[in-house]
Structure 1
Amino acid sequence: MAGTPGTAGTATIATRTVEYPADGLTMTGHLALPAGADRRPAVLLGPEGTGLSDVERRRADALAELGYVALAFDLHGGRYVSDPEEMLARCLPLLADPERMRGIGHAALDVLRAEPRTDPDRIAAVGYGTGGAVALELGRDGANLRAIGTVNATTTGRPGEAARIRCPVWAGVGSEDPIMPPAQREAFTAEMQAAGVDWRLTVYGGALHAFHHPPVDHPVVPGVGHHPRHARRAWRDVVDLLAECLPLEGDPGA
């Protein structure tokens, strides 16, 4: 299938770096545009807590090859934070502050909406880890999104605010993820259910936290581990969510 991250696609895409202010920093995002000149549905793509890397850039490129405008957004002002202690020192306060997460998300969403190739009424948000928590906070803030997808980010929000989510939510998590354990997953699904959200949860058996992410050459927090088979499955699940909620021209339901 065209669009698998890390493989060469057949479509001609264009990419560029975009800078924008958020969270008191100058963020550096990666914008990927599909072939053609028409307006297309778009995807806001959020990274793990370490920040924007080539992994997310390849995912954005893969989405552009499928036909979406895609913006992989930044968390740390152009930095990839490889030291686990430094990463946690930045991300834990961020995850505890919905307004900061929403600010980061809305700043990137504004950049994506301003792109001439973007259909501003057909945008989804997909995020991994901290980036997934940002996507969920956009939904809880009532952002006009067609879908929200998260991987290892079954985070809960402030009481009652999930009722402002206006689109389907899909979440994927590893069964052995100690950072998003069963109690956290249950709290998340209870929140979604109470709010009347159209939600789905996929649990990938035997997978740890960040199972979707290829192995890295620096230390990681405990409980992180790559699971190649489930990584491929999670990507297919993301693409299926987009096909359902953000169909491209010629797809069923478009």
Structure 2
Amino acid sequence: MTTVTTRAVQYPADNLTMIGHLALPAGTDRRPAVLIGPEGMGPSHVERHRAEALAELGYVALAFDIHGGRYLEDPEEMLARCMPLLADPDRMRGIGHAALNVLRAEPRADPDRIAALGYGTGGAVAVELGRDGVDLRAIGTVNGLTTGRPGEAARIRCPVWAGVGSQDPIMPPAQREEFTAEMQAAGVDWRLVVYGGALHAFHHPPVDHPAPPGVGYHPRHAQRAWRDIVALLDECLPVAQ
């Protein structure tokens, strides 16, 4: 196992002080880099662990923040913040660009070789960076299959991978179809994986507070989705060039 170093990084975004989790692989050389966005509740040990897992694979990884260092376990509070955010592409882009600037400024990160991944709200932020024309090598989103403003998906310059549970009531078939129709019309290299029987946030291990209806962990599909994301990075952003 390689030695991974981590540190918290503070940076301004969305009129808040965000607290990201930066994970660095062993060595001193520049490496490809990955942004990781959280579900609507905000970053937790799950995203931090994923950043460290990517650092183990040789990436510089930043698990970015969306709530100013807070984890919103109250569903009503979470929705009150996330729904307006998801309806405002410019706010999502501002949050994404702020994290991207932190990652690009890290000396170990290759600023020309970056991918953006995310879950739920964090996945929507990752896709909005693509719609904003950011030069990314890959975009991955689980549960965050939101559609953008007309025509802006044509700015996406990299492959887009999306994953969703077949029984996810928050991302129903109509919304999935709208997202994929947008990608197809824009000429994006896209793919969608539907994980049979999985609910919303199927990738997220159980938390110590009650999950809202329609939300549930699916261990097998969680592992499969992670393998699919790693395969996306291996294809589009290999550590060794």
CA–CA distance in 1 between the matches of 2:208 and 2:11? 29
Q: CA deviation at 1:219?
A: 2.4
Name which of 184, 187, 190 aligns with 1:196.
187
Equivalent positions of 1:32-181 (< 5 A) are 32-181=23-172
Q: Secondary structure at the match of 2:202?
A: coil
Q: CA deviation at 1:220?
A: 2.5
Structure 2 counterpart of 1:103, one-letter code:
G
2:177 matched to 1:183?
no
1:83 touches 1:219 (CA, 8 Å); kept in 2? no
Name which of 8, 15, 18 aligns with 2:9.
18
CA–CA distance in 2 between the matches of 1:232 and 1:80? 24
The TM-score, its normalising length taken from structure 1, stands at: 0.94
Q: What per-residue deviation string (whole Å, max 9, x for no partner) do you get for residues 146-180 of structure 1?
A: 00000011110000000000000000000000000
Q: What per-residue deviation string (whole Å, max 9, x for no partner) do you get for residues 118-165 of structure 1?
A: 000000000000000000000000011000000011110000000000
- In the alignment, what sits opposite 2:219? 228
- In the alignment, what sits opposite 2:197? 206
The TM-score, its normalising length taken from structure 2, stands at: 0.99
CA–CA distance in 2 between the matches of 1:104 and 1:216? 25
Q: CA deviation at 1:248?
A: 1.2
Q: Secondary structure at the match of 2:180?
A: helix
CA–CA distance in 1 between the matches of 2:144 and 2:15? 24
Q: Which runs of 5+ in 1 are unaligned?
A: 1-9
Q: What per-residue deviation string (whole Å, max 9, x for no partner) do you get for residues 182-231 of structure 1?
A: 00000000000000000000000000000000011112322100000000
CA–CA distance in 2 between the matches of 1:126 and 1:93? 21
Structure 1 counterpart of 2:235, one-letter code:
E
Structure 2 counterpart of 1:45, one-letter code:
I
Q: What per-residue deviation string (whole Å, max 9, x for no partner) do you get for residues 75-103 of structure 1?
A: 10000000000000000000000000000
Q: CA deviation at 1:63?
A: 0.2
CA–CA distance in 1 between the matches of 2:179 and 2:148? 9
CA–CA distance in 1 between the matches of 2:145 and 2:128? 11
Q: What per-residue deviation string (whole Å, max 9, x for no partner) do you get for residues 49-76 of structure 1?
A: 0001000000000000000000000010
Report the RMSD for the aligned CA atoms in angstroms: 0.5
CA–CA distance in 1 between the matches of 2:212 and 2:33? 32
Q: Secondary structure at the match of 1:51?
A: coil
Name which of 11, 15, 19 aligns with 1:28.
19
**How many pairs does the alignment contain?**
241
1:208 touches 1:226 (CA, 8 Å); kept in 2? yes
- In the alignment, what sits opposite 1:244? 235
- In the alignment, what sits opposite 2:206? 215
1:163 touches 1:195 (CA, 8 Å); kept in 2? yes
Structure 2 counterpart of 1:80, one-letter code:
Y
1:84 touches 1:219 (CA, 8 Å); kept in 2? no
